[in-house]
Structure 1
Amino acid sequence: MITRPAESVPEPVEGFDTVLVANRGEIAQRVIRTLRRLGIRSVAVFSDADADAPHVREADTAVRIGPAAAAESYLDIGAVIAAAQSAGAQAIHPGYGFLSENAAFARACADAGIVFIGPGERALEVMGDKIRARDHVASHGVPIVPGFSAAGMSDDEVAARADAAGYPLLVKPSAGGGGKGMQVVRSAAELRPALATARRVSAAAFGDDTLLLERLIERPRHIEVQVMADAHGHVIHLGERECTLQRRHQKVVEEAPSPVIDAATRARLGAAACAAAASVDYVGAGTVEFLVAGDRPDDFFFIEMNTRLQVEHPVTELVTGLDLVELQLRTAAGEPLPLDQDDVVLTGHAIEARVYAESPARGFLPQTGHVLVWRPSVEARTDAAVETGSVVTADYDPMIAKVIAHADDRAGAVAALDRALGDTVLLGVETNIGFLRTLLNDPAVVAGDLDTGLIDRLPPYTDPEPSAAALSAAATVIAAADAATAEGRVQHASPLWLSRSGWRAGAPAVALLESFETSDGRLVTASPVPPPARAGRDLPLARDADGRLWVHADGVTTTLRPVTRRQAADIRLAQRGRGDGAADPDLRAPMPGAVVAVHVVDGDSVTAGDRIATIEAMKMEHPVTAPHDGVVTLSVSAGAQVRLGEKIARVDAPAPESADSAASAGD
């Protein structure tokens, strides 16, 4: 890892002695760290779900702003402004997400005499609408993707324009970002369902269902440029970030610089990004996003401008040595940028992975739970929203941490990130860490041969087999627990039987085995390794409220549910049934969430794969589909809140046709 000189004592930021951070999780903690370094008092806000969250304790003071629902807390402009006024804050840092790109919030800050640490209202309004932003930057010489706005158009009119433009197309909400609501349409038959889904998601997430349709660029790379501007007309860029590794339009891994952008193209990208920012009198940190043709990296098109700090800003900080939050604070306070474009030097390579509470082996479904053990790697920078004892709920985005590595070159950075992920311990909540390590070792990723569809083309992820070390540690814990339980009750069997030694009269000893069910339903067995204290001493291990054991060994976290002999026999029988092609007629919620749509009515005949209902959790929609042909019986309605595993519907297969009825049909 590259070492940098020790920092000198920073100059104070004139005018700011107290700043409120209008966000939560890792970004709130990230901003608070810079505020503390600059000697500025920090104010956190929190919902009822976050009353004991790390960012609340890390701030100098904290103010409750409402219940768990974001609409009644973190998105409540009046509550945030009132919190800032009550705490005596001169400025508000919005982080990212929530109110960070909300022009009404910036206006409310100005009306209250509070500095909004972000761009002006004009920049927020122009760049906050993809259609308006696209047209605006095109008039300033920035290349754009061919497409059209669907504002005010009926589905028939959209279909006619789409037919004229030609497929494939990308349907995207005009408001908002983060890939929410985006739909790929490859034929006219796919258009209307895609429009309905995009409008529903856009209205729910952004309060605006206006859509934009653009030509789909196949196998593109997603390149974004970090810009920084002050109130004195100076705009510079801090190089580009490669954000191509995405799943469902959500970034997964980001790096800086891009492995395919040369110095000449970097200068052209930077000039285009600075032109876009200057065209709206931008102030502060912003990101201009481009699509780059995979086979022509010097050919790029404007996508959108994010008028805020980005999730992936740490990779830029590591290669430039700059604190972007400090630059945001200083420019918001009216200070000129402390550097010119020629002062920006990119050193080494940085790469970041987003750690989500989700289950890659089950279609990346969001997960919730209690964090039993959290131990970040000491070999990389980790920005985390959790700690040991935290509760991950379904109320907010499932991203819970970012792990960022820095090295002299790309190969070294990728290897360092892989090691750091292997060293990261999170027990109690399923995460995508195993998937991230698999992704980083994919030959195309190692080679830097990327496009935005790479993850979608990978084989379905499966959890690795539990390691011998993990199984032995788990078996030792169960054996010790069983022994302790046995000591506490009256025994009627002989001491030899209770010793669990495996001794048999007239025959060799039988090895004692403990049985476990893995998170994906496999049955495994293991023998405890004596002495018990030594077997699990160096392995992080915890048992949750449901009795499952979480073990971290050899860079992998394994979840094991102890089962009795009878339960093991039942699992084997169920596996045989699945092998014979049997399917459970009951459809159950794959995660806790809200039923946002029901696509059938009681008594409908459906075929395998038909969508029965759609559940929204952690800002993502998940379809529940029919497992086989049959007749559906619903157990929920639209708007219902469902628990993990709650019955959604039942699809009863049609009864086999009898011989008599078949004969009659033949007559």
Structure 2
Amino acid sequence: MTTPSLAGTPAATRPMFGTVLVANRGEIACRVIRTLKALGIRPVAVYSDADAGARHVREADTAVRIGPAAAAESYLNIGAIIEACRRTGAEAVHPGYGFLSENVEFARALEQAGIAFIGPGVEALNIMGDKIRSKNHVAGYGVPVVPGVAQPGMSDAELVDAAAGVGFPLLIKPSAGGGGKGMHVVQRPEDLAATLATARRVAASAFGDDTLFLERLVTTPRHIEVQVLADSHGNVIHLGERECSLQRRHQKVIEEAPSPLLEALPDGAAIRARIGEAACNAARSVNYSGAGTVEFLVSDDAPDQFYFMEMNTRLQVEHPVTEMVTGIDLVEWQVRIAAGGELTVRQADVELHGHAAEARVYAEVPERNFLPSTGTVLLLDELPGPQQRPGAPARVAMDTPRGRVRVDSSLVEGVEVSSSYDPMISKVIAWGEDRTAALDTLDAALAGYTALGLDTNVEYLRLLINDADVRAGRLETGLIERKLPGLSFRRVADAELAAAALFTLAMEEQNNTPPAPGPWQARNGWRLGAPAPRLVSLGTPDGGVAAVRVSGTRDAGAEADGTALDGTALDGTVSGRTFLVAVGDGPARPARLEFPSRRQAVLTLDGRTSTYSIAPVFRGPADPTRDSPVVGIPAELFLGNEGWSCRLDVLSREARLDRVLAALQREEGATDPAVRSPMPGTVVSVPVSDGDTVAAGQLLVSVEAMKMEHQLVAPLNGTVHLTARPGDLVKADQVLATIHPHAGDTDADTMHSTAKEPRHGRF
């Protein structure tokens, strides 16, 4: 069990199913597997080629390959999943969230195959899976809905005509799918037609259905959702609400239970009862069974006014916060209800204890408009203490002095995070006696969270939960977009550059050290402690170059033999010696680097101490004859500190010259005529033709990666030469188009950023 059981929850005695297949991947597959094992049920995993080494595959009792990396050929392949059930003897399927979790055809196919679907019945999936149908349906059962136009089959022209009656600003929403994917805000009537075209393309690509509808945009809205549980015996209860107002582009970032809005109101308990009953009525209207979530928009100015948005007929990403405050394992109840069990928890039994908050950890770069990131996890510390290793039992929760911390994760060291799937890689959940304690606990947990080898949003999450409005509970769905420009992200400073330079030299010394005792003389004639300075050139994340000069100095009583930073001792504790380190044109300053473990480096610079998690990537293959696991010359270094991380390239002379020349070109205002893909992905649209005359800022290519559509635009006026077509698989930095400028059109005023704001989806 991941959470304490509530009184009334049946004990895990005889398994309800012998074998259950988990038709999902990532952190949710790991989380479901955890409860299945606790119930004595044999879990079966499925995986694509991209996930052959994934954590959920390692944690299941058995795993079945279902296809290549593309979701349409693996996790969305109904036939492959049913065949996996037959091969493994699975009696039931848990769909997790996303993929096939709300697919009515999947539920029908399982029913025909005699396999239980751990989710609601076909009626609920059919009605609630279509936003137009669901909105019209629940309105007939007394559930309040947002004003709008929701009729199936409306053309773009009909929607444009109807928009005046809805009013601006409005929201375009796809009828199929869920999780905010394909939703678009339109502020002005003149923008509606173009946005409808984009929304249809996104909806058709993501859901195979381009039906759209319009809703009035509720200003300063709160996004509050209610967790419901229902069985096939007519019992329906709710487990309180979750506040999900902190979103970016309709994607949830921080979730809490209970809602701070309702907690602060004198009549909050009464509103909770009303919104909970509305959620239960929505569930009753479709004879719901299992765990589900009813989402509402709540006016911040009038909290007693709430409007039905949609019902998610599955487990939510944010379900852990409800588990933390109620003590109820939602996955356990999903399994029991699917097996025909009766819900023994009554509404009067449900009590909310304390406060819980969840932060979604994404592989992305917040400073670059949340551009998704890929890479291999080189070092992972998600909870204090012994860390998860391949084959070791998962550690998912622990108590701290502030409160309780739980981590639901898809990561292990060595796993590759690809561009094939959603960029969410884990969730950090914290519980405290009150909201302040919960947020303090979450902040401390994020400060200790390290995943090196790729970019993450952990620093951004810490900035967000420590914002004054967030701490005061003044939340609304536009807060992130409004505050993002004012956030101060940490930059690489002298301390990180000094640590990287000293670490690089220590590694070089170790790599060139003969195994027999003797002086540690490097092949290049320089050794640590030598009086002549050594230059280390580091490539910074902004594309720049940092020059760090290191020269030796003698500590009191120390021999000037150059043995400081003894690389052979990296597997234990060493006492480093002091060197003089000059960053750029700055003065030489005393610096010392020590290694309390293979995974940490402690820098003392100007008397100030900083501790870094550190993970090197080496140019050459490791020498298997060495006892130390760290050998070779680093090509790049990843450093992490209190939730912040960075990557620094260790540059050769040639690479340093290339970077310097590129920086000079940027300073002179030269614009790169090449339009490059920001990351690996698939070309989904090319609205121009080869040889067309284009203007700066004109859309050239749309690339989809990690459920995001990136719109790449012309950087200047000219003639476009295309090297990409729809359907092409592209690599990061691959040139997709080149602009040949016209005479006289190379001024700074014709230049434009090549990437528009990405369109992002969520679960």
| Structure 1 equivalent of residue 96 of structure 2 | 95
Task: Report if aligned partners of 1:30, 1:383 keep a CA contact under 8 Å in 2.
Answer: yes
Task: Give, as a single letter, the amino acid of the residue that structure 2 aligns with 1:314.
Answer: P
Q: 1:443 to 1:582 in 2, by over 3 A?
A: farther
Verify: 1:515 aligned to 2:516, yes or no. no
Task: Give, as a single letter, the amino acid of the residue that structure 2 aligns with 1:161.
Answer: A
Give the secondary-structure state (helix, strand or coil) at the position aligned to 2:322: helix
**What CA distance in whole angstroms lies between the structure 2 residues aligned with 1:494 and 1:621?**
49
Task: Give, as a single letter, the amino acid of the residue that structure 2 aligns with 1:406.
Answer: W
| Structure 2 equivalent of residue 156 of structure 1 | 157
Give the secondary-structure state (helix, strand or coil) at the position aligned to 2:176: coil
Task: Give, as a single letter, the amino acid of the residue that structure 2 aligns with 1:123.
Answer: A
| Structure 2 equivalent of residue 396 of structure 1 | 421
**What CA distance in whole angstroms lies between the structure 1 residues aligned with 2:40 and 2:745?**
79
**What CA distance in whole angstroms lies between the structure 2 residues aligned with 1:569 and 1:116?**
60
Verify: 1:531 aligned to 2:604, yes or no. no
**What CA distance in whole angstroms lies between the structure 2 residues aligned with 1:283 and 1:543?**
50
Verify: 1:426 aligned to 2:451, yes or no. yes
Map 1:185-264 to 2 at 5 A: 185-261=186-262, 262-264=268-270
Shift of 1:39: 0.9
Shift of 1:485: 5.5
**What CA distance in whole angstroms lies between the structure 2 residues aligned with 1:276 and 1:97?**
21
Task: Give, as a single letter, the amino acid of the residue that structure 1 aligns with 2:460.
Answer: F
| Structure 1 equivalent of residue 648 of structure 2 | 560
Aligned residues: 647
| Structure 2 equivalent of residue 503 of structure 1 | 531
Task: Give, as a single letter, the amino acid of the residue that structure 2 aligns with 1:471.
Answer: L
> Which moves more between the two structures, 599-608 or 51-60?
599-608
| Structure 2 equivalent of residue 279 of structure 1 | 285
Q: 1:531 to 1:286 in 2, by over 3 A?
A: same
| Structure 2 equivalent of residue 646 of structure 1 | 734
Q: 1:553 to 1:186 in 2, by over 3 A?
A: closer
Instruction: Select the structure that is richer in helix.
Output: 1
Task: Report if aligned partners of 2:428, 2:446 keep a CA contact under 8 Å in 1.
Answer: yes
Verify: 1:117 aligned to 2:118, yes or no. yes
Task: Report if aligned partners of 2:506, 2:565 keep a CA contact under 8 Å in 1.
Answer: no
Q: 1:126 to 1:481 in 2, by over 3 A?
A: same
Give the secondary-structure state (helix, strand or coil) at the position aligned to 2:303: strand
Task: Give, as a single letter, the amino acid of the residue that structure 2 aligns with 1:519.
Answer: P
Task: Give, as a single letter, the amino acid of the residue that structure 2 aligns with 1:417.
Answer: L
Task: Report if aligned partners of 1:14, 1:333 keep a CA contact under 8 Å in 2.
Answer: no
Task: Report if aligned partners of 2:410, 2:426 keep a CA contact under 8 Å in 1.
Answer: yes
The CA RMSD measured in Å over matched residues stands at 2.5
Task: Report if aligned partners of 1:284, 1:328 keep a CA contact under 8 Å in 2.
Answer: yes
| Structure 2 equivalent of residue 340 of structure 1 | 346
| Structure 2 equivalent of residue 474 of structure 1 | 500
Give the secondary-structure state (helix, strand or coil) at the position aligned to 1:339: coil
Task: Give, as a single letter, the amino acid of the residue that structure 2 aligns with 1:521.
Answer: G
Show CA shifts across 1:170-207 (max 9, x none). 00100011111111111222111111111111111111
> Which moves more between the two structures, 593-602 or 14-23?
14-23
Task: Give, as a single letter, the amino acid of the residue that structure 1 aligns with 2:156.
Answer: D
Give the secondary-structure state (helix, strand or coil) at the position aligned to 1:106: helix
Task: Report if aligned partners of 1:516, 1:523 keep a CA contact under 8 Å in 2.
Answer: yes
Show CA shifts across 1:502-525 (max 9, x none). 636xxxxx5x45331222224334
**What CA distance in whole angstroms lies between the structure 2 residues aligned with 1:300 and 1:84?**
42
1:361 to 359, 367, 375: 367
Normalising by structure 2, what TM-score?
0.81
**What CA distance in whole angstroms lies between the structure 1 residues aligned with 2:717 and 2:322?**
52
Task: Report if aligned partners of 2:225, 2:244 keep a CA contact under 8 Å in 1.
Answer: yes
Give the secondary-structure state (helix, strand or coil) at the position aligned to 1:595: strand
Q: 1:328 to 1:6 in 2, by over 3 A?
A: closer
2:329 to 313, 316, 323: 323
| Structure 2 equivalent of residue 635 of structure 1 | 723
Give the secondary-structure state (helix, strand or coil) at the position aligned to 2:471: helix
Shift of 1:573: 4.5
Give the secondary-structure state (helix, strand or coil) at the position aligned to 1:353: strand
Task: Give, as a single letter, the amino acid of the residue that structure 1 aligns with 2:101.
Answer: S
Shift of 1:146: 0.6
> Which moves more between the two structures, 12-21 or 363-372?
12-21
Verify: 1:604 aligned to 2:692, yes or no. yes
| Structure 1 equivalent of residue 437 of structure 2 | 412
> Which moves more between the two structures, 250-259 or 522-531?
522-531
**What CA distance in whole angstroms lies between the structure 2 residues aligned with 1:476 and 1:322?**
50
> Which moves more between the two structures, 604-613 or 427-436?
604-613
Verify: 1:617 aligned to 2:705, yes or no. yes
**What CA distance in whole angstroms lies between the structure 1 residues aligned with 2:484 and 2:56?**
38
Map 1:18-33 to 2 at 5 A: 18-33=19-34
| Structure 2 equivalent of residue 664 of structure 1 | none
Show CA shifts across 1:118-149 (max 9, x none). 11100000000000000000000001001112
Shift of 1:610: 1.7
Show CA shifts across 1:271-314 (max 9, x none). 10000001101000000000111222221100000000000000
Show CA shifts across 1:563-593 (max 9, x none). 2466445534533432343221111110111
Task: Report if aligned partners of 1:244, 1:254 keep a CA contact under 8 Å in 2.
Answer: yes
Shift of 1:169: 1.1
**What CA distance in whole angstroms lies between the structure 2 residues aligned with 1:149 and 1:37?**
44
Task: Report if aligned partners of 1:377, 1:421 keep a CA contact under 8 Å in 2.
Answer: no
Q: 1:500 to 1:15 in 2, by over 3 A?
A: closer
| Structure 2 equivalent of residue 445 of structure 1 | 470
Give the secondary-structure state (helix, strand or coil) at the position aligned to 2:595: coil
Show CA shifts across 1:512-547 (max 9, x none). 453312222243344669535542524231123672
Give the secondary-structure state (helix, strand or coil) at the position aligned to 1:544: strand
**What CA distance in whole angstroms lies between the structure 2 residues aligned with 1:485 and 1:39?**
50
Map 1:11-90 to 2 at 5 A: 11-12=12-13, 15-90=16-91
**What CA distance in whole angstroms lies between the structure 2 residues aligned with 1:404 and 1:527?**
43
Show CA shifts across 1:455-493 (max 9, x none). 1122446752235554333222211233355668xxxx9
Task: Give, as a single letter, the amino acid of the residue that structure 2 aligns with 1:383.
Answer: D
| Structure 2 equivalent of residue 581 of structure 1 | 669
Shift of 1:427: 0.9
Q: 1:499 to 1:31 in 2, by over 3 A?
A: closer
Shift of 1:636: 1.2
Task: Report if aligned partners of 2:717, 2:745 keep a CA contact under 8 Å in 1.
Answer: no
Q: 1:273 to 1:469 in 2, by over 3 A?
A: same
**What CA distance in whole angstroms lies between the structure 1 residues aligned with 2:722 and 2:530?**
51
Q: 1:80 to 1:536 in 2, by over 3 A?
A: farther
Give the secondary-structure state (helix, strand or coil) at the position aligned to 2:727: coil
